Structure 1
Amino acid sequence: MNRLRHIIEWNVFGVCTWLGEKMGIATSTIRKYFIYISFLTMGSPLIIYFFVAFWMNVRQYIWFRKRNPLRY
């Protein structure tokens, strides 16, 4: 079960995990409220979710480029 959970977290960008670590809230609580809000608003929080996922990937790429000056 933990292996499946780990695979799912890595494949869905880890936004809820990142947000939970930043805010000090349990990841499962954030996921639960995200699902509830998505049902109530007919999926509009998905736009915010994908934006944050995109921003996390861009930020990671920029941070990696700054860390490694030998890379072209």
Structure 2
Amino acid sequence: MPKKLFYELDEEKRERITNVVLREFAQHSYNESSTNRIVKNAGIGKGSLFKYFQNKQDMYFLYWTIL
């Protein structure tokens, strides 16, 4: 589950990150998905990504809760 800080982001940034996470897991399996691609496509730093998510599993949880 994403950290509380993720839900406190402004709507545009939260939606941008969410859309990138959704696209990453839709196009790649869990094992082949890449946090490096996520940060590149979301336009954020890797440190920022891990302020919002504990790990890749949290991002995958977000993916499945939205589907």
- What is the TM-score normalised by the length of structure 1? 0.32
Greater RCO (Cα-Cα under 8 Å, separation 6 or more):
2
- What is the TM-score normalised by the length of structure 2? 0.34
Structure with the bigger percentage of helix: 1
Which of structures 1 and 2 has the bigger CA Rg? 1
